[in-house]
Amino acid sequence: YTSLIIVTGIVLFFVNLAIAEEDRPELLTRTFDRNYIVKYLGLYNYTIYDGVQTAQTESQRAYASSDDLTSVENYTSSHYAKPNAEYFGKAKGKNIIKIHLESFQSFLINYKLDGKEVTPFLNKLARGGEDMTYFDNFFHQTGQGKTSDAELMMDNSLFGLPEGSAFVTKGENTYQSLPAILDQSEGYTSAVLHGDYKSFWNRDQIYKHIGYDKFFDASTYDMSDDNLVNMGLKDKPFFKESIPKLQSLKQPFYAHLLTLTNHYPFTLDEKDATIEKAKTGDATVDDYFQTARYLDEALEQFFKD
């Protein structure tokens, strides 16, 4: 019976893993939230998985060579580019608000669907409205880390990993990051504001190592049903509730706001849709234009408020 029990356990594990992969693809490779792994695979299996991940990380550190660092330093020094004199230092001492537009693609700028602009406010900004400068030489370079890879690049000038998320597998590293540099050199306070819970992408841990002072996650927002859609808090209430949080920060500050509504699979309540869906025949693509318009409207209201 012992062999039967072992075989049955193995079969059940792989059946459970298959179900988990159906609901959360690449669950074990992307490792976006340890809570999900416990939920789908159980605490015992998670303990084994976490042990393997820890051993791999420790072995990488043990075998790390100073020669690797030397080659990186040589590359960066030989590719050094001087700051653009026209822009360098122009915003010195001012508050910085970085808004991360989830899943937003540049083709939407000035794009019209059935004769209507999908993102009229962002189009206005791209044309120089509100005294804005638009840099369009910007490309998608994320891997399995998705949004977390984008955060890693923006704050640390580092690419994501070939497999998995650096936010999770390298969450205990020390980073030479933008929030830390601004604090050390200019005395900036830093904060992240996001309508999802802090454990996703291991943010509650890695933000400390990146140097953020505060993290306002979903637990600090009104997460009532009317305010939720898809992955979490809708962008309009998110921006509205973020304003007093920004006002509470000691100035000068660096704030990173992450939107959420324009996230796959791009679902939106009918009452919040102000543009018709596209008619490509692909539900995901058709819905994308509605959530992009909602994001655009939320951003415009934030600027007004």
User: What is the DSSP track for 274-297?
Assistant: -SPPP-SS-HHHHHHHHHHHHHHH
pLDDT surpasses 90 at 277: yes
What's the whole-number mean pLDDT along residues 7-18? Answer: 76
**27 sits in which H/E element:** helix 27-30
Which pLDDT score is estimated for 297?
A: 98
Report which of residues 152 and 144 the model is more confident about.
152
What's at 90, amino acid-wise?
Answer: K
Which pLDDT score is estimated for 30?
A: 66
Least confidently predicted of 45-59, 69-83, 92-106, 230-244: 45-59
Cα–Cα distance, 3 to 305 (Å, whole number): 66
pLDDT surpasses 80 at 83: yes
Collapse the DSSP code of 98 into the 3-class scheme (helix H, G, I; strand E, B; otherwise coil) and give the result.
strand
Report pTM.
0.85
Percent of the chain surpassing pLDDT 70: 96
Structure tokens at 151: 């955060």
pLDDT surpasses 90 at 21: no
Which pLDDT score is estimated for 28?
A: 67
Least confidently predicted of 24-28, 219-223, 280-284: 24-28
Which pLDDT score is estimated for 32?
A: 66
Strands (E) across the chain are located at: 96-100, 112-113, 116-117, 189-194, 214-216, 228-229, 232-233, 253-258
With contact defined as beta carbons under 8 Å apart, do 245 and 257 qualify?
no
Report which of residues 196 and 66 the model is more confident about.
196
**Residue 262 φ then ψ, to 5°:** -85, 55
What's at 132, amino acid-wise?
Answer: M
Collapse the DSSP code of 16 into the 3-class scheme (helix H, G, I; strand E, B; otherwise coil) and give the result.
helix
pLDDT band for position 142 (cuts 50, 70, 90): very high
**Nearest one of 249, 242, 255 to 192, comparing CA atoms:** 255
Q: Which of 147, 169, 189, 259 is catalytic?
A: 147
Cα–Cα distance, 37 to 28 (Å, whole number): 8
Residue 220 is among the residues annotated as catalytic for this protein: no
